[in-house]
Amino acid sequence: MTFQAIHRSFAGRVAERPDATLFELPGGRVVTYGETAELAQRIAARLVADGVVAGDRVAMQVDKSWEAIALYLAVLQVGGMFLPLNTAYTGHEMEHFLTDAEPRVLVCSPARLGEYAGRASESLVVETLGADGDGTLLAGLDAVAPHTDVYAAAPSDPAAILYTSGTTGRSKGAVLTHRNLASNCAALTEAWRYTSGDRLIHALPIFHTHGLFVAMNLTLTTGASVFYLPRFDLDTVIALLPKATVLMGVPTFYTRLAGDGRLDRERVATMRLFVSGSAPLLASDHEAFAGRTGQAILERYGMTETCMNTSNPYDGARKPGTVGPALPGIEVRVADRETGAQVPDGEVGSIEVRGPNVFAGYWRLPEKTAAEFRADGFFITGDVGRIDEDGYVVIVGRDKDLVISGGFNVYPKEIEELIDAHPDVLESAVIGVPHPDFGETVVAVVVLRPGVDAGAVDGAGILAFIAPDLARFKQPRAVQIVESLPRNVMGKVQKAELRKRYAGLFTA
Ligand code: MLC
Ligand code: AMP
């Protein structure tokens, strides 16, 4: 299967089967392919009226709704760049995205209009969209003629910006092209045998690669349907399993499912595929799940900049603790971090990727982009691993200072900067430690200024100081106040040492 763009392929499915179910919503409402396409065309008309032209960014920070997917399709149709943002981001965090991306339109939830209304200007239109389709974006749309023109986007044209990795404390926008999204969608559809007969349990957020570019793109382009849930709710997912064929989730989904007494072979009899990714799935969790269900979770590996890189096979061994071989059309190598020279299989090194899935670059940051690529076009993922005897990639760690909590990325630098701004704090180090539910969780290790009375400042006070500016999922779950941070001879804080010291904080 090959196609040039997600929205064009979706239009093909609409033409074939307009009455086919796309979304099954909680409460039983069904939304068809035809309805979604029509709403997308009306939203496209609104975006054009708002001044959106090809190349413009359309930012979205809204609760999950099917109408938000219609908005995504509308942005692609008019040649815009879709910029979805986590609803957990505070005004402080949003400031950076809005100044950096300069969107033409921001679609926010009605409840947060008060925060953003003041930003509306000649160059920014603020629209609202609520979880039930309320808000200005859709208001009066019935009277608006659908916009049927489809912008003639080239495969190399940008389709989306997703913000990621802030090693300097500032998130960078990864620009993904139509070719990136379409080629990866085609590769996964084939690799995972995804078809119009599939019924996917969609419990992921739609502001990240996993929930949007993997789960939704595969569905929209194959004619499949989704049980579309606002979030992961264990009881709801357990209840839907007997009606569904596929689940895609982060490891936390599987830890929670495997910990539930209702999960057994009979309950998953119609399920043909459980996919895990975005964070490492412990081999023990893989085995526990298989023991309960008789099904091996298929683990794959991706990232915002590259979409999916590797996948365990659909047919053949799905090996716990590995992420499988490279997907067709994609090259994955393990190289020496310093020289970039490929190392022999079995040796640990820098995981690097080349292929049609690899993004166009960081938004307005040509130097940072160049620094992440080798001269021969391989992208340096920042993950560390090896290739095993079967050609499967094994991820053993990360070169980048990053914590992945429940599948959400947290960049320590950003949190350290906020903590260090506390008047009583000299310095801090933020680390990830093992957590039974989230895989990893965030811990802050803090040194107070000389002379500050240690009895007067506590972790709760430091957390309260940073909370207003930081999304809840990034907030440390523990604060350790110490005399000093361990450093190496170069003076660099030894985070590995801290991770070891606090490894048992949540997992006794
Ligand atoms: C929610 N909270 C989290 C959290 N999610 N804290 C840390 N890490 C998280 N991931 C907060 C809540 O705000 C709440 O705060 C408290 O923790 C407990 O919440 P919960 O009810 O247990 O959380 P829940 O809503 O069930 O969410 C957990 C989750 C969710 C794992 C289901 O985080 C999730 O859907 N994660 C998926 C992330 C994702 O899509 N990643 C893909 C990135 S793409 P309070 O105030 O109540 O204490 C990518 C590329 C690739 O990485 O390869 O796919
Ligand atoms: P993001 O920047 O949110 O796209 O996160 C991408 C990062 O998530 C990767 O660089 C990896 O570190 C991690 N990741 C994704 N999938 C897996 C996996 N299956 N196993 C281990 N780490 C993973």
- Give 93 Cα–ligand 2 centroid separation in angstroms: 22
Spatial separation of the C-alpha atoms in residues 118 and 134, rounded to whole Å: 21
Residue bearing the CA closest to ligand 1, atom 30: 406
Amino acid letter for position 176? L
Whether 302 is in the pocket of ligand 1, judged by its Cβ within 6 Å, is yes
Q: What is the mean pLDDT of residues 223-240?
A: 98
Residues of the chain with CATH 3.30.300.30: 403-501
Residue bearing the CA closest to ligand 1, atom 48: 472
Nearest ligand to the C-alpha of residue 229?
1
Q: Are the C-beta atoms of residues 380 and 374 closer than 8 Å to each other?
A: yes
pLDDT at 459: 95
Residue bearing the CA closest to ligand 1, atom 47: 472
pLDDT tens-digit map of 374-412? 999 999 999 999 999 999 999 999 998 999 999 999 999
Task: Burial-class residue 115 by CB neighbours within 10 Å (0-12, 13-18, 19+).
Answer: middle
Residues of the chain with CATH 3.40.50.12780: 6-231
What pTM was estimated for this model as a whole? Answer: 0.97
Atom of ligand 1 nearest to the CA of 472: 13
pLDDT at 167: 61
Whether 205 is in the pocket of ligand 1, judged by its Cβ within 6 Å, is yes
Whether 438 is in the pocket of ligand 1, judged by its Cβ within 6 Å, is yes
pLDDT tens-digit map of 43-81? 999 999 999 999 999 999 999 999 999 999 999 999 999
- Give 231 Cα–ligand 1 centroid separation in angstroms: 9
pLDDT tens-digit map of 18-38? 999 999 999 999 999 999 999
Atom of ligand 2 nearest to the CA of 398: 12
**Tokens linked to 506:** 């949540």
Nearest ligand to the C-alpha of residue 301?
2
Contacts 24+ apart (CB under 8 A), 30-34: 31/66, 33/223
- Superfamily for 403-501? ANL, C-terminal domain (3.30.300.30)
CB atoms within 10 A of CB 457: 20
**Position 128 pLDDT exceeds 70:** yes
**Tokens linked to 35:** 């309805």
pLDDT at 2: 59
Spatial separation of the C-alpha atoms in residues 428 and 119, rounded to whole Å: 34
The CATH number given to 6-231 is: 3.40.50.12780
Q: What is the mean pLDDT of residues 138-156?
A: 97
pLDDT at 168: 62
Query: Mean of the per-residue pLDDT values for the chain?
Result: 96
Atom of ligand 1 nearest to the CA of 410: 8
Residue 279 DSSP one-character state: S
> Which of 201, 298, 438, 477 is the pocket-test mutation for ligand 1 (most atoms within 8 Å of CB)?
438
Atom of ligand 2 nearest to the CA of 208: 3
**Protein residues with CB under 6 Å of any ligand 2 atom:** 164-165, 209, 277-280, 299, 301-304, 323, 381-383, 395, 398, 404, 409
pLDDT at 169: 61
The CATH number given to 327-398 is: 2.30.38.10
pLDDT at 166: 60
Residue bearing the CA closest to ligand 2, atom 21: 280
Atom of ligand 2 nearest to the CA of 305: 4
pLDDT tens-digit map of 431-468? 999 999 999 999 999 999 999 988 889 999 999 999 99
**For a pLDDT cut of 70, what percent of the chain falls above it?**
99
Spatial separation of the C-alpha atoms in residues 301 and 311, rounded to whole Å: 6
- Give 438 Cα–ligand 1 centroid separation in angstroms: 8
**Tokens linked to 140:** 């009066």
- Give 404 Cα–ligand 2 centroid separation in angstroms: 8
Whether 64 is in the pocket of ligand 1, judged by its Cβ within 6 Å, is no
Convert 326-363 to b/e letters by CB count within 10 Å (16 or more is b). Answer: bbeebebbbbeeeebeebeeeeebbbbbbbbbbbbbbb
Residue bearing the CA closest to ligand 1, atom 2: 473
Residue bearing the CA closest to ligand 1, atom 39: 407
**For a pLDDT cut of 90, what percent of the chain falls above it?**
96
**Position 253 pLDDT exceeds 80:** yes
pLDDT tens-digit map of 327-354? 999 999 999 999 999 999 999 999 999 9
